A and B are shown apart, each in its own frame.
Chain A
Amino acid sequence: MSKKADFVKFDKVDKSYDGKVLVVKDLNLDIEEGEFVTMLGPSGSGKTTCLMMLAGFETPTNGEIFLDNNPISNIPPHKRGIGMVFQNYALFPHMTVFENLAFPLKVRKMSQEDIEKKVDKALSMVSLGGFANRMPGQLSGGQQQRVAVARALVFDPAVVLMDEPLGALDKNLRESMQYEIKHIHESIGVTVVYVTHDQGEALTMSNRIAVFNDGKVQQLSSPDKLYEEPVNSFVAEFIGENNTFGGEVSEISNGTCKVKLEKGEIIANPISVKSVGEKTTVSIRPERALINPKDKMDNNQKGKIEEVIYHGDHTRVRLNLLGNSEFILKVPNSSQNLDIKLGNEINIGWNSHDARALDPK
């Protein structure tokens, strides 16, 4: 079975609520069949609006959305066959779990026998086999969430949308639900479009992540690429932790560039700078900078320790480095790093490849 690369397609979609501000600007997004795509971004970045347009609760101001090559802007939500999991579950409180799950099947006029079979299957998929006759109010938050997921899947929709479904759960439950949803996705192969503002959630669950900001997709790529190779400073800042230096390109050559800072100079990897004199923000992940590196690294600087915070498995060290007093290091807790003490001067090294010169902030 060949998978369609543009099963869901946003084509030049704009959306404005008031005719003055565009919440979504020129959105182009292709989602492959069976893929798990997450829309990630801060609140107000337009990700939920995109989801609502796909579900049919909002209409695009301009552009078109295609589902399996059919334009769907003029199809009402109930005819789109898209399952949806809502932020606060949106289970029908006056129906039992069974009736909740049977609802989409009943409106499709399935026979009672088929309904029972499908509901049973869906409930066992989310391991809630014995809960069919409970009312939603009698279930815990995590169980309600599972019912909501089962309900969105029970009628075999082509696409399932999830709008911050785990937002109301506590941390442990949220993590176990992440794995559960991921496994369900893997086992039935449905296309999932997931919206969240939690980057950890996005990184664990998705095949690809679309990072939204200011109504635009900033980067669409796999979780590892997103983390390792952010294409602009917003993505670098938003995903994971990040040390930044603002400066000006003073020299650029084959794959490396020199960036002149207020105090000193560093060698960096030119990602979005082209020529000398451009302003840039250099981004380095905390775990890529090492203390007293054994291997030779092309950046070596001295920094003064300003704060040490113990985190159990690792220690976070805040340094004053090249005029940046917010430079963070993550040091694994082992006996090697005994000279990490407040006020000490230490040597820090990193490879120019890991120091990405991006657009200025």
Chain B
Amino acid sequence: MSSETGKILTTDGIPLEESLKQAEKKNKIKAFLLVAPLLLFLIITYMIPIGDMFSRSIDDKMVTNMLPKTYKAMENWDGKELPSEEVFEAFYLDYKILVKNKTAGKLQTQLNYEKNGFKSVLKKLARKQKKFEEGNYKEQIMKVHKRWRNVEYWRAIKRRAPSYTYSKYLKGVDMYSNEDGKIVQVSEDRRIHRILWIRTVEVAFFVTLFCFLMAYPIAHLLATLPMKYSNLLMICVLLPFWTSLLVRTASWMILLQQQGIVNDFFVWTGLVADDNRPEMMYNKTGTYVAMTQILLPFMVLPLYSVMKTISPSLMRAGKSLGATPAVAFFKVYFPLTIPGIGAGCLLVFILAIGYYITPALVGGASGTLISNQIAYHMKSTLDWSFASAMGLMLLTGVLAIYWIYNKLVGVDNIKLG
């Protein structure tokens, strides 16, 4: 019998576990095949691009590949005094090839990032190196420019030795690693990214708040009105959803501009003077108004789906037990809507923090967000590695928010509908 092994057997004598596995196998394969296309799609369109973004953001092979002999020779150099003849020779040979291939310009630019004034030194070397004689390259190079005697410049070259760098991430928060390898802030007048990060979080926070304040009563109405009215209201909520994002943003531009409908109305009611029309667009106000309207459905829907499940008799019970309507609302109704609030806020906040089109169109200078900066580096400066780094920082931020939310509220409590 099976008592020795402790295994339960089926009537046919096959161990039960095995038999069960056999029976479930087909279903498991079927289930996997059903999700396989989606899995593949996710890997191709999501995981791989993110991986590529990450490698791009830390990639620093360019200089490494341009000066292979130099870096090999530098391996034993401690960086305290001028490097040996060996390093000079290796650098001369590497640089000679670069000049020949007409790629020396890239190296000049890259090294100039590390140490200001490197470009002119390298340019001069490019001109003079043609007349170099064989042997004693240290003397010859140092003769070209006196800065070659300065150990700082050699250190700058050495700093670019690793194939990977986190300097793009530092740049994203307005910091850099200086000549001594210390991480320091950039000078005050050049700290633009930090302002953008703070503004992005601020805009996302307030948009979430405004969305919540507006969506809560709407969702409550939707959940409590009789069917024929609530359907109509639901269509009103969803109607903007079905309109193109660009069209909606453009219509906000028509409404909010200085000669726009809203301003005309203010002037007509005498609220503002005709020659003193407030600017409601191309600044933060425009971003707030347009983004709140566009993201509102993402708050209404999760709230509605949660409120729909709350029995109206709970509020009645609260009142019949002696609670004023306000107390009944805050003690009974409100706590029960928290899963919906959590879901809606998380959704809106995450969408808002990476929003691009609306701030780009109505934001102006003071209303642009970090995503606009990323797009700028993608399209204009072509510094893709920096754009990737900022994109990843944004992604990390979103994941961090998600994690904090999970700790505070618990993701299980989210109800998206």
A92 shortest CB reach to chain B, Å? 6
Q: Which parts of A85-135 form the interface with B (CB within 8 Å)?
A: 86-88, 90-94, 103-104, 107-108
A88 touches B311 (CB 8 A): yes
Q: Which parts of A54-79 form the interface with B (CB within 8 Å)?
A: 55-57, 76-79
Binds A, one of B84-92, B329-337, B348-356: B329-337
A232 to B336, CA, bound (A): 48
B317 within 8 A of A: yes
Q: Which of A84, A94, A108 contacts B320 (CB 8 A)?
A: A84
Given contacts A90-B311, A90-B314, A107-B327, is CB(A77)–CB(B335) below 8 Å? no
B324 touches A78 (CB 8 A): yes
A77 touches B316 (CB 8 A): yes
Q: Which of B313, B327, B331 contacts A90 (CB 8 A)?
A: B313
Q: Which residues of A contact B335 (CB under 8 A)?
A: 94
A155 touches B322 (CB 8 A): yes
A83 within 8 A of B: yes
A80 to B322, CA, bound (A): 8
A78 touches B325 (CB 8 A): yes
Q: Which residue of A lies closest to B335 (CB)?
A: A94
Contact with A along B275-319 (1 / 0, CB 8 A): 000000000000000000000000000000000000101101111
A82 to B320, CA, bound (A): 6
B328 within 8 A of A: yes
Q: Which residues of B contact A55 (CB under 8 A)?
A: 316, 320
Q: Which residues of A contact B332 (CB under 8 A)?
A: 92
A42 within 8 A of B: no
Q: Which residue of B lies closest to A81 (CB)?
A: B322
A151 within 8 A of B: yes
B317 touches A92 (CB 8 A): yes
A224 shortest CB reach to chain B, Å? 32
A198 to B327, CA, bound (A): 35
B314 touches A107 (CB 8 A): no
Contact with A along B107-146 (1 / 0, CB 8 A): 0000000000000000000000000000000000000000
A90 to B335, CA, bound (A): 15
Q: Which residues of A contact B331 (CB under 8 A)?
A: 103
B1 within 8 A of A: no
Q: Which residue of B lies closest to A79 (CB)?
A: B322
Q: Which of A78, A83, A94 contacts B336 (CB 8 A)?
A: A94
In the complex, 20 of the A-B residue pairs with CB atoms within 8 angstroms, ordered by the A residue number, are A55-B316, A56-B319, A56-B320, A76-B319, A78-B323, A83-B320, A86-B317, A87-B313, A90-B311, A92-B318, A94-B336, A103-B321, A103-B323, A103-B331, A104-B321, A104-B323, A107-B323, A152-B320, A155-B322, A161-B320
Known: A76-B319, A92-B317, A103-B323. 19 other contacts (CB 8 A): A55-B316, A56-B319, A57-B316, A78-B320, A78-B321, A78-B322, A78-B324, A78-B328, A83-B320, A86-B316, A88-B311, A88-B313, A91-B317, A103-B321, A103-B331, A104-B321, A107-B321, A107-B322, A151-B321
